[in-house]
Structure 1
């Protein structure tokens, strides 16, 4: 059996966000166990993660000011909300939309337009050449960002301040970017085009699953990337600039690229590694939580993950991936009470499809563009520059 990786005292303290002294106080009070050898103290990553989860659920003490870690602001949103552990886009169930509608249909409904008009073939070619110039060392999100810039440069109306331009720009992006990731071909339906661009297996069921995933990632409360996009929209940035700003916040291991670590975890278990050491190693290497688990907006399970995994379980040749999902989920449930989230579902989908570990982030980003544009439309209805915060200086006094 594989040896269970351990956290050093410094790593465990960093995971909990405490000083080493506090960590050892937890040990002395019997809240955490440790092993000692000649090199120091060592901690079980899964026990540390379970303890971290219990601490997160502790009620915050009353305070006259905003506590550290609380939201900077609360903004009204007219797009997504979670009610009774179910995600809704406006008044409609996201799960039902994912089962019954195409991504294009949902986006057109959200934006109030009839169809998604793609960019011209020449514009797509410019985006392809721009992406190709980055070389093989570029990451998928680098290529998406370059594609956004290229499609902006080729758009003579990019700086038109009319609000209706946002949906037009959004249509260029969600249809043009998947096509630009391919070496040839005109833009077509988003899911099939993106499926080919990401190297998905020849499987119609996979395209249906990808369509559902694109719908489920459109929006989810006010994520950091969504806030970044709304800040740009508050300054009346173009749709391209809104998406660029959002992508900057999205391209982060604690947000948009979190499925990468979940992919590695599932792949290790699928390929024969025991769940416990695989999870422990993922926690140790990632530095924050179990990849693919935990979502604070739900009292129970993340409904997006639940639906995607249900659909994937019904897909052909998914038994080995779902066995890995089940093994990891059971081991996590045995040690903590955190449940699968969207990142695990994206990792399972892309692993089954034969894609790379970064494919989940691309799926997430392309689908979320629809949400960022929707939020930009709403922000254009608000007072300009309202999201410009005030700073409070806390540095050393002037001499």
Structure 2
């Protein structure tokens, strides 16, 4: 068994966690025992962060203190802002800019030199990273559009504040609640590639900034993040064509094109997060442009009812509806993966904190398949 090879570590148990659980056959996701539908409907993103980091839902007093502490950490140092300006001027990709800026946050952290086993310092670093990441991303997008960054508003929740810093306008209740739900849905999802990467780095007892920077790097790869941007680009293509959505998809699939947003490594049925975002997309459409909701639902209907993909274990995932939801909220499409990362910093840091509490260096083996013993030949004799 020790020598059995599982490419991609699929199905391999590498750790135990109390944070999240996925039932791919039932289409169920839970955070610390709470169903994602209940949390998305009733909780705030800050409440879910508290749950992931502390292990229980907060009381009103605990949540107020926690929310205030998060709001107090939102501002970033001028040196970080200047770096963001340089990255924007260089036309750096948003995820690469995020990776650099998150790494730089450690330069101004008062806990930067804390001992590796200082758990309280690690928790404070986690709080600062999650609080400051929205400020970094909003500032980057504004600067590249030749607009000045907007200071955080401590009276707004994390989700509403991000939309305010991004657009310059305080979002209405529907937009704020929708984005807050989206952050909750993306906060954690088991040992996915970026979470596992952050844990591997954390297992060396590296600091939280190193672990999260590594997580950002892993999420930047097209096989992990970016599918919601791909979905939106397909929706644009359909909207600009002379075909209705079903005809377009039929033609595309006949040509061998893959429709982004369908299929998942874990879910064999419709992603529960997709169901929630579909409902939010419908609500946003009722208050504005229904183009994107109509196209996405038509695509899903065709691929499920006529092509029968669900029976084959291929169903809509969270990216299929998150792209159009973000677009309706006024978020640029190349910011979709950074938005994913902004939310997932909560899960990354939670997993690092959990793993480091009972740490063991993650060190798998690789099977050598190279040549057997060779005789060395001096360079002048080759």
Q: Scaled by the length of structure 2, what TM-score is found?
A: 0.79
Tell me the distance in 1 between the aligned counterparts of 2:373 and 2:340. Answer: 46
For the residues of structure 2 that align with 1:229 and 1:288, how far apart are their CA atoms?
A: 33
More displaced stretch, 74-83 vs 194-203 = 194-203
Shift of 1:203: 3.7
Is 2:300 the counterpart of 1:341?
no
Find the partner of 2:177 among 191, 201, 208: 208
Does the alignment pair 1:269 with 2:238? yes
1:377-396 counterparts in 2 under 5 A?
Answer: 377-385=353-361, 387-396=362-371
1:227 aligned partner: 196
Match of 1:186 among 152, 163, 168: 152
Residue 95 of structure 2, aligned match among 141, 144, 148: 141
1:336-381 deviation digits (Å, cap 9, x = unpaired): 3322111112211122223221232122111100000010011112
Contact 1:174 1:190 in 2 (8 A): no
Large movers: runs of 4+ above 6 Å: 280-285
Work out which of the residue numbers 23, 40, 44 in structure 2 matches 1:102: 44
Give distance in 1, aligned partners of 2:85 and 2:201: 28
- The number of residue pairs the alignment matches comes to 334
How many Å separate the matches in 2 of 1:121 and 1:314? 30
1:163 paired residue number: 119
* Greater CA drift, 112-121 or 308-317: 112-121
Distance 1:236 1:280 in 2: 51
Query: What residue is the counterpart of 1:196 in the other structure?
Result: 164
Match of 1:71 in 2: 10
Residues 215 and 392 of structure 1, relative CA distance in 2, 3 Å threshold: same
In structure 2, how many angstroms separate the alpha carbons of the residues matched to 1:120 and 1:220?
Answer: 25
Tell me, what secondary structure is at the counterpart of 2:316?
coil
Q: Name the CA distance, whole Å, in 2 between partners of 1:187 and 1:284.
A: 50
Residues 268-347 of structure 1 aligned to structure 2 (within 5 Å): 268-272=237-241, 274=243, 275=245, 278-279=248-249, 289-315=258-284, 316-333=287-304, 334-335=306-307, 336-337=309-310, 338-347=314-323
Would the aligned equivalents of 1:98 and 1:212 in 2 still touch at CA under 8 Å?
Answer: yes
**Unaligned ranges ≥5, structure 1:** 1-63
Residue-by-residue CA offset, 1:231-282 (whole Å, 9 max, x unaligned): 0110011111110111111101111222111111122234455335754797
Alignment of 1:114-125 (within 5 A): 114-115=65-66, 116-118=69-71, 123-125=76-78
What secondary structure is seen at the aligned counterpart in 2 of 1:211? helix
Rate the CA distance shift 1:318–1:122 in 2: closer, same or farther, 3 A: closer
Counterpart of 2:143 in structure 1 is: none
- The answer (yes or no) to whether the contact 1:200–1:355 under 8 Å persists in 2 is no
In 2: Cα distance, 1:282 partner to 1:236 partner? 48
**Which secondary structure state, in structure 2, belongs to the residue aligned with residue 134 of structure 1?**
helix
Question: 1:351-370 maps to which residues of 2 (within 5 A)?
Answer: 351-370=327-346
Distance 2:168 2:356 in 1: 37
**Alignment partner of 2:28 out of 60, 67, 86:** 86
Distance 2:316 2:209 in 1: 33
Q: How is 1:32-71 mapped onto 2 (pairs within 5 angstroms)?
A: 65-71=4-10
More displaced 10-residue stretch of structure 1: 295-304 or 322-331: 295-304
Provide the aligned C-alpha RMSD in A. 2.7
Q: Residues 261 and 319 of structure 2 are in contact (CA less than 8 Å); yes or no, is this contact kept in structure 1?
A: yes
Once residues 175 and 274 of structure 2 are traced to their aligned partners in structure 1, the CA distance between those partners, rounded to angstroms, is: 16
Partner SS for 1:358: helix
Which residue in the other structure is 2:144 paired with? Answer: none
Give the one of 177, 194, 219 matched to 1:250. Answer: 219
Which structure features the higher share of helix residues?
2
